[in-house]
Structure 1
Amino acid sequence: MVMSSDDPGSQEAFRLLEKKTEAGVWSLDFTTRKMAWSSGFYELLGLASGSVEPSYEAIIELMHPDDRRPSGEFDRIVREGLPLDREFRIIRPNGKLRWLSNRSEVNLDKTGKPVRAYGVLLDVTPQREMALAREASDSRFRALVTATGAFIWTADAEGRILDIRNWRELRGQNPTDILGSRWIDLVHPDDRAHTMQAWTDALVTKREYSVEHRIEQPDGEYRWMMSRAAPILFESGTVREWVGISTDIQDRKVWPTTIDTEKAVLTGAQLRSARGVLNWSVRELSLAAAVSSSTIRRLEEMDGPPPGREDSLAPLQAALEAAGVEFLFPPTGKPGVRPR
């Protein structure tokens, strides 16, 4: 059989169910090691129904090399009657990659010996792609936070700090010591009044919070920080929580307001970092600045500034700054980049 039924109506209903759920059914006889596949199973593999003899080896031929089991593993599974539940990728004959999820059940005889296995194969590609996209987004977010040295925090509707997710990583301290309302103790005494006033006003008006203040460091010194937060609202309009970010602005506060223009030349490293902050591709920057992609790539190949005059740097800098990036040119050390 290819997975059949004597009732044509049942066959049609089964076939419709497979199509609507993007599923396929299979069975395996442990004694003969013969498999049977439904039409839906063939379709999931990208094969015409009945075009190949159902077998584990035929599945392996289409399976992504990184997902194939070690040699002899299938024999052990058959011998011990183990379930075949897993997710794996297959590369269809047309070259398209799909994620498939297999769920199975093993039937035993009276002595407990495995006799037959039945399973269903589901196409889970959309779910896997969404998960991978979230993972990529989270990775970019973590990289951005690490690169900027910013603290990400959440507070409840009343303004009590619930968590600072990277406090321990950046300061080597336990964040529980400053949760609730105890964080104010880290603010410089001269900055506490206007900090609390700004926070109170934001809580009352449900508007964005923004304040510059000095925060005590582990060594006892103070550094200037810019703290911003925005409310997350329920559909009713009440505040569910606040999400905030505190960014170090010490250099901006203490560096000279005038910069030697000879030294304030964008570097290739700054261009690469700025695109990373904005999550822009070379093409997106090219369109925003009206500068060719080849020119951008050439400039980004250099960690430092270009050796000669480069007229394309001005529109590139303007486009990136307009999108929310700030370029830093310290009196000493390497030029940098951060979100504005």
Structure 2
Amino acid sequence: MVATLNHSSAKETLKFLEKKASAGVWSLDFTTQQMAWSDGFYELLGLAPGSIEPSYETIVQMMHPDDRRSSGEFDRIVNEGLPLDRELRIIQPNGKLRWLSNRSEVHLDKSGKPVRVLGVLLDVTSQREAALARDAAESRFRALVSATNAFVWTADAEGKILDIRNWRELRGENPAAILGSRWIDLVHPEDRAGTVKSWSDALATKSNYQCEHRVLQPDGSYRWMLSRAAPILLENGAVREWVGISADIQDRKVWPAADASRETVMTGSQLRAARGVLNWSVRELSQAAGVSSSTIRRLEEMDGPPPGREQALAPLQAALEAAGVEFLFPPTGKPGVRPR
């Protein structure tokens, strides 16, 4: 004997499924031009079930302006039997924005004329927000990589290099030639043993890696680099991958020690660049240094150092250095900044 759902049971089942799946069902009869919404559909719109007469016009009014179709577009799509699947944003009466995904199917009569469309609406807000958060994080990461003027790289659990950001941009070379373990060939022969040992020790102990070494440049010269890396661990404690950064420290290594005694004054361009490295707003720097926002803006308008003694520079520089910025004052050329 086959058991079937009666009307009451089917309605309760639909209500249960809609609640658990954050979904709603709708239909449109082309003969009567009447639309029907399930309770779940009303709730996705932020409305009480049965509170208003279902209509496509109501949905359009609640759509985000950027997601509305042009006039007559809906009728054209339906009349041609085209799919209605799409994602759209709904602004609920309480002002809350929800991302909804529509999946539907147009039913045709024997002559091929549309007679009815059935659809289901799914709340995909959490997925969209997660995707937007990932995009924002990736954008911030790309901006940071660009601002640091350094190489950012990833390695697998065994320590083989998988990817190097900025390599092509800064060196004009394809990074594929040094992936895996071939990167060690670029390290100065005198520094290779120490570099390999430091990297091997970090891999063995799953601890942070740090090493200063000279790296071969495209023109055949060597420059000092500071390489750091940290392991990304799985829940079981195993290493999933390594994330590292290699920054040029040539000036720090070769400048005469006597230059450390030179009087150095932070410039407005350095102040702007330092905020960029940290992704700090003027307000955040003001709070960290105890200096007014108006003073910071005034100083940042100057590309060079201020004409006289400026008391605000010391706390500003101290706050930025404490947050991880290093100020550079080379014997020749313009002052600069970089992550510490």
Per the TM superposition, whether the score is higher than 0.5 is yes
Whole-Å separation in 2 of the counterparts to 1:33 and 1:298: 64
Q: Residues 225-256 of structure 1: CA distance to partner in whole angstroms, max 9, x if unpaired?
A: 11111223344434333222111222322334
Partner residue, 1:104: 104
Whole-Å separation in 1 of the counterparts to 2:163 and 2:293: 42
Distance change in 2, residues 1:72/1:98 (3 Å): same
Partner residue, 2:330: 330
How far has the Cα of 1:135 moved from its partner? 0.8
SS of residue in 2 equivalent to 1:291: coil
SS of residue in 1 equivalent to 2:207: coil
The answer to whether the 8 A contact 1:283-1:293 is kept is: yes
The answer to whether the 8 A contact 2:277-2:325 is kept is: yes
How far has the Cα of 1:294 moved from its partner? 4.3
2:305 equivalent to 1:309: no
Q: Residues 25-50 of structure 1: CA distance to partner in whole angstroms, max 9, x if unpaired?
A: 21122344432222322232233444
Q: Which amino acid in structure 2 is aligned with residue 265 of structure 1?
A: M
2:65 equivalent to 1:73: no
Partner residue, 1:84: 84
Count how many residue pairs are aligned between Structure 1 and Structure 2.
Answer: 335
Partner residue, 1:339: 339
Partner residue, 1:129: 129
Partner residue, 1:242: 242
SS of residue in 1 equivalent to 2:139: helix
Distance change in 2, residues 1:296/1:157 (3 Å): same
How far has the Cα of 1:123 moved from its partner? 2.1
How far has the Cα of 1:14 moved from its partner? 3.1
SS of residue in 1 equivalent to 2:245: strand
- 1:156-305 equivalences under 5 Å are 156-257=156-257, 258=259, 263-267=264-268, 269-305=269-305
The answer to whether the 8 A contact 2:228-2:246 is kept is: yes
The answer to whether the 8 A contact 1:289-1:319 is kept is: yes
Partner residue, 2:39: 39
Whole-Å separation in 2 of the counterparts to 1:58 and 1:134: 33
TM-score (norm: length of structure 1): 0.86
Q: Residues 57-91 of structure 1: CA distance to partner in whole angstroms, max 9, x if unpaired?
A: 22222212222223332122111112211111122
For structure 1, the 5+ residue unaligned runs are none
Whole-Å separation in 2 of the counterparts to 1:301 and 1:98: 42
Q: Residues 279-320 of structure 1: CA distance to partner in whole angstroms, max 9, x if unpaired?
A: 334443333323344444444455444454332222222122
Q: Residues 121-159 of structure 1: CA distance to partner in whole angstroms, max 9, x if unpaired?
A: 122222212211111111111011112122122223332
Distance change in 2, residues 1:38/1:234 (3 Å): closer
Whole-Å separation in 2 of the counterparts to 1:18 and 1:120: 10
Give the RMSD, CA atoms, in angstroms.
Answer: 2.7
Distance change in 2, residues 1:145/1:57 (3 Å): same
SS of residue in 2 equivalent to 1:110: coil
Whole-Å separation in 1 of the counterparts to 2:72 and 2:93: 25
Distance change in 2, residues 1:131/1:297 (3 Å): farther
Distance change in 2, residues 1:282/1:61 (3 Å): same
Q: Which amino acid in structure 2 is aligned with residue 196 of structure 1?
A: V
Distance change in 2, residues 1:306/1:51 (3 Å): farther
How far has the Cα of 1:118 moved from its partner? 1.3
Whole-Å separation in 2 of the counterparts to 1:212 and 1:70: 60
SS of residue in 2 equivalent to 1:224: strand
Partner residue, 1:95: 95
Q: Which amino acid in structure 2 is aligned with residue 72 of structure 1?
A: G
Q: Which amino acid in structure 2 is aligned with residue 164 of structure 1?
A: I
SS of residue in 2 equivalent to 1:36: strand
Q: Which amino acid in structure 1 is aligned with residue 60 of structure 2?
A: I
Q: Aligned residues: percent identity? A: 77
TM-score (norm: length of structure 2): 0.86
The answer to whether the 8 A contact 1:211-1:226 is kept is: yes
Whole-Å separation in 2 of the counterparts to 1:132 and 1:231: 26
Whole-Å separation in 1 of the counterparts to 2:42 and 2:335: 58
For structure 2, the 5+ residue unaligned runs are none
Whole-Å separation in 1 of the counterparts to 2:123 and 2:329: 52
SS of residue in 1 equivalent to 2:253: helix
Whole-Å separation in 2 of the counterparts to 1:187 and 1:336: 26
Distance change in 2, residues 1:256/1:104 (3 Å): farther
Partner residue, 1:53: 53
The answer to whether the 8 A contact 1:30-1:78 is kept is: no
Shifted more, 274-283 versus 319-328: the winner is: 274-283
